[in-house]
Amino acid sequence: MQVSRRNFLKWSGISGTLAATTSFSKTVLPEKQEEFVGFCPVNCGSKCLLKAHTKDGIISHITTDNTGNDSYEQRQVRACLRGRSTRYRIYNPNRVLYPLKRVGKRGEGKFKRVSWDEALTDIANKMNEIKLKYGNEAFYNPYGTGTIGSIMAGWLDGSFHRLLGVYGGYLGYHNDYSTGQIANGLEHFYGWAWGGDIENVKHAKLAVMFGSNPVETRMGGASTGYSFQEMARRGNTKVICIDPRYSDTMVGVADEWIPIAPGTDAALIAALAYVMVKEDLYNKEFMDKYCVGFTRDTLPEGAPSNGSYMDYIMGTGDDKTPKTPEWASKITQISSDRIVKLAREIASAEPCYIDQGWGPQRHQNGEQQSRAIATLACLTGNVGILGGGTGARSGSSKSYSLGSLSVNNPVKTTIPCFMWYEGIRLGSKMSALEHGVRGASHLKVPIKVMINTAGNCLTNQHACVSEISKILEDESLYELIVDINITRTHSNSFADYILPSAMVFEQEDLLQASMGKCSTMPYLAIGEKAIEPQGEAKSAFDICTLLAEKLGGKELKDKFTDGKTWEDWMRWSWNVAKDKNPFLPSYDEIKRRKIWKSPELVEPLVVFKDFREDPNANPLNTPSGKIEIFSSTLYDMSKTWKLMPGQKINPLPVFEDVIMGARDPLRKKYPLQFFGYHYKGRTHSSFWDAGVIREINPQEILINTLDAKQRGIKTGDTVIVRNDIGKIKGVARVTSRIIPGTAATYQGGWAKFDENGVDVGCCVNTLTTNQPTAIAKANGVHSILVEIEKA
């Protein structure tokens, strides 16, 4: 069959994770080309290698890794179509080329070109003024992940952290937008949050994946999606996926999809536990020896006498409700028969690999969801053994950590990263017990300066775009907003200054191989400079060096650079890894070789192996040293923390009704659950403006066949999704790949409001609430209720 270019793109975009090595660009190759190695620094977790082919200082096309023999053992770190479209990001008409200064009102999006000198002088003067008036706690650098896993800007733009550190400090943050609920949930359960290597799948009889979509969220040629497929095949492992959607991970690999209503996994787990107890199928020895609070016998001191998880599931707890399959069926939309069978299947599969993606936890009850899924791994005794898992998301087996620009921040107070808008709205009323401030009981001063680097989390990627926009617009609140980006975004339309950033292939750098999502084949690489930066763009390090001098003269500049050039820092960074791992090539050698892959696979990580072998000698990092099914810390917090109306902190991983959840009475008005998931066509909001990618992955609104029929909606119809928070407009795709009663879109569409206030960019955060979750104070943005109608 003749495959046209367009069809090839369509085909690889829809079904493919690992597009073929053939470059999809049909550019005629210029004769004399130079080739440079680089990487894709976006935050998808894969960190693939790219090659830029240049002629006369211009990148003509981009290909990817073709080193190694392409076996699983010597994987090619091949880029997906997004990474291969990097040229469209570099030469993008939306690119910020020069420093821009706001003209007109904040948020109007009107800017004029100014010189670097003018921009940096103004910014420095304003910063010095605010420092005098409020002190250093008034400075904040919000979460932004546009350049992650390199030293380009440090880990999450470390240059700016380092600059603010030497400047006297800044208000820091804890949590991230990815894992707030699971990190905080499992901190009170295991002491921390990762699962083992995805290669455990090969050693398992059964893999049960809760909202885990590695084929779409870890797409690179050396990433977890590929390993997952390969391991399921090699191990002949049965795979069951529990997800409101039939995701790409299921295509070809899953034996079964069990559709579940969003935010209800904890109810399913309670019923699975109920069946396992009734039928004596759970691992009693494991629960007694390694866990506290599953039964009354192991409840910690001070806990209510009927406060065990057993009490909760059997109906002797406070709610007096046995968590029968029939009870769970009404909440989860899974038939009670299937729940009973699933409990038997999981309990009899030895070992059983249990994994959760971060979709289940990105809900208003996400802390509960994540702990409940981990409880299932415990009930079946799968923790700490090969082929088992902790019930958390798979993590890295080995990574060789490069040095990142060191930061010394004299300000020790941090806020949850999702709560920065309260840093200005509440200022010194923002507290530890109500808003999750750490390191102090309250903030001293409101945040006054925001330096937003490589992020679109001021609006687009945050939540409740309309509410947040009003806060940002108000010039009496944030006195200075500086945005450093490669493109114009919805977030930076609220900036006072936008500074143009150089990007990959425009500066030298080192690749920190993923956060280790490369499974058992660690790799490192150099990022070469292939072309001059577009316009007047500069690297983060150069911007910070110049700004340091404006802020505090030569003295501050020297403090920032530590007397080192960028090249010196790269060498230093490499040697941090080399000193710990002498077998790595020298810095000079990696600059010649460009790519280093571990010649042998490393052992797949089994988390808590030591603890399993000897829990007394190797206690967990929890107050009891054991797995805390009942958490005394959470129990204490439930008595002292001030929560939002309707919120609770429960010491047990129970199913919790929450706002915008499956049983919120608001469903009478807004009957459909809704969420925005992480999608192959983009990394968050990145690649929206790489036209070729959007052409093959258009923004859509997925709605189930039954729901569509009731509303007279057909595929291709323009529809409005609305709730009390906002309205988005988009094109419907009617599908049975999503559970009835739930609809979804791809998170990261670029918010763009028409004259009626309808977001025609289809950004899911136009519909999400700003309410933080109870424990983590994180973004429960997958909990949304809406109505959908034809536009």
Ligand X SMILES: Nc1nc2c(c(=O)[nH]1)N[C@H]1C(S)=C(S)[C@@H](COP(=O)(O)OP(=O)(O)OC[C@H]3O[C@@H](n4cnc5c(=O)[nH]c(N)nc54)[C@H](O)[C@@H]3O)O[C@H]1N2
Q: Which residues are at the interface with ligand X (CB under 6 A)? A: 42-45, 144-147, 177-178, 210-211, 213, 216-217, 219, 242-245, 247, 260, 262-263, 265, 357-360, 362-363, 453-457, 461, 484-487, 489, 501, 503, 675-680, 682-686, 747-748, 764-765, 768, 781-782
Cα-Cα-Cα-Cα torsion 195, 200, 203, 208, nearest 10 degrees, comes to: 60
Binding-site partner at residue 48 among Mo ion, ligand X, ligand SF4, none, CB < 5 to 8 Å by type: ligand SF4
Dist. CA 179–CA 43, nearest whole Å: 13
Q: Which helix (H) or strand (E) holds 542?
A: helix 540-561
Q: 137-176 mask for Mo ion (x: CB under 5 A)?
A: ----------------------------------------
Q: 39-58 mask for ligand SF4 (x: CB under 6 A)?
A: -x-x-x-xxx----------
Dist. CA 383–CA 676, nearest whole Å: 31
Minimum CB distance to Mo ion, residue 145 (Å): 7
Binding-site partner at residue 260 among ligand SF4, Mo ion, ligand X, none, CB < 5 to 8 Å by type: ligand X
Question: Which among 573, 341, 437, 514 has a CA at the least distance from the CA of 137?
Answer: 437
Buried/exposed code over 466-504 (b: 16+ C-beta within 10 A; e: otherwise) = bebbebbeeeebbbbbbbbbbbbbbbbbbbbbbbbbbbb
Measured from the CB atom, the residue of 178 and 295 that comes closer to Mo ion is: 178
Query: Is the distance from CB of 245 to CB of 317 less than 8 angstroms?
Result: no
SS3 percent helix, strand, coil of the chain, rounded to 5, is 30, 15, 50
Question: Which among 246, 182, 245, 195 has a CA at the least distance from the CA of 224?
Answer: 195
Measured from the CB atom, the residue of 515 and 531 that comes closer to Mo ion is: 515
What backbone phi and psi angles, to 5 degrees, belong to 108? -65, -25
* SS3 assignment, position 779: strand
Site for ligand SF4 in 206-235 (CB under 6 A): 219-220
Measured from the CB atom, the residue of 612 and 777 that comes closer to ligand X is: 777
Binding-site partner at residue 83 among Mo ion, ligand SF4, ligand X, none, CB < 5 to 8 Å by type: ligand SF4
Minimum CB distance to ligand X, residue 99 (Å): 13
Crossing angle of the two packed helices 325-332 and 265-278, in degrees rounded to 10: 160
Query: Is the distance from CB of 414 to CB of 408 less than 8 angstroms?
Result: no
Residue 513 contacts ligand SF4 per CB under 6 A: no
Q: Which of 82, 102, 578, 594 binds ligand SF4 (CB under 6 A)?
A: 82
Query: Is the distance from CB of 194 to CB of 393 less than 8 angstroms?
Result: yes
Minimum CB distance to Mo ion, residue 179 (Å): 7
Residue 178 contacts Mo ion per CB under 5 A: yes
Q: Which stretch binds ligand SF4 (CB under 6 A): 80-88, 292-300, 545-553, 600-608?
A: 80-88
Measured from the CB atom, the residue of 219 and 629 that comes closer to ligand SF4 is: 219
Dist. CA 680–CA 31, nearest whole Å: 34
Residue 518 contacts ligand SF4 per CB under 6 A: no
Binding-site partner at residue 40 among ligand X, Mo ion, ligand SF4, none, CB < 5 to 8 Å by type: ligand SF4
Measured from the CB atom, the residue of 36 and 670 that comes closer to ligand SF4 is: 36
**Cis peptide preceding 351, ω within 30 of 0:** yes
Measured from the CB atom, the residue of 362 and 571 that comes closer to ligand X is: 362
Measured from the CB atom, the residue of 178 and 227 that comes closer to Mo ion is: 178
Q: Which stretch binds ligand SF4 (CB under 6 A): 76-84, 299-307, 344-352, 505-513?
A: 76-84
Q: Locate tokens 């729940």: which residue?
A: 339
Q: Which of 79, 186, 240, 620 binds ligand SF4 (CB under 6 A)?
A: 79
Minimum CB distance to ligand X, residue 581 (Å): 27
Site for ligand SF4 in 352-411 (CB under 6 A): none
Query: Is the distance from CB of 241 to CB of 212 less than 8 angstroms?
Result: yes
What lies within 8 Å, CB to CB, of 284 at 6+ separation is none
Q: Encoding tokens for residue 299?
A: 């409840």
Measured from the CB atom, the residue of 708 and 744 that comes closer to ligand X is: 744
Minimum CB distance to ligand SF4, residue 217 (Å): 9
Q: Which of 539, 683, 699, 783 binds ligand SF4 (CB under 6 A)?
A: 683
Query: Is the distance from CB of 294 to CB of 287 less than 8 angstroms?
Result: yes
Dist. CA 194–CA 398, nearest whole Å: 13
Q: Which stretch binds ligand SF4 (CB under 6 A): 38-46, 98-106, 177-185, 635-643?
A: 38-46
Measured from the CB atom, the residue of 75 and 393 that comes closer to Mo ion is: 393
Measured from the CB atom, the residue of 46 and 365 that comes closer to ligand SF4 is: 46
If 0-12 CB within 10 Å is exposed, 13-18 middle and 19+ buried, where does residue 583 land? exposed
Minimum CB distance to ligand SF4, residue 17 (Å): 8
**Separation in Å, CA 642 to CA 85, 142, 427, 774:** 48, 25, 17, 9
Measured from the CB atom, the residue of 193 and 511 that comes closer to ligand SF4 is: 511
Alpha helical stretches, state H, 689-757: 691-696, 705-710
Q: Which residue is nearest to ligand SF4 (CB)?
A: 83
Dist. CA 764–CA 665, nearest whole Å: 22
* SS3 assignment, position 714: coil
Site of interaction with Mo ion (CB under 5 A): 178
Site of interaction with ligand SF4 (CB under 6 A): 40, 42, 44, 46-48, 79-80, 82-83, 219-220, 683
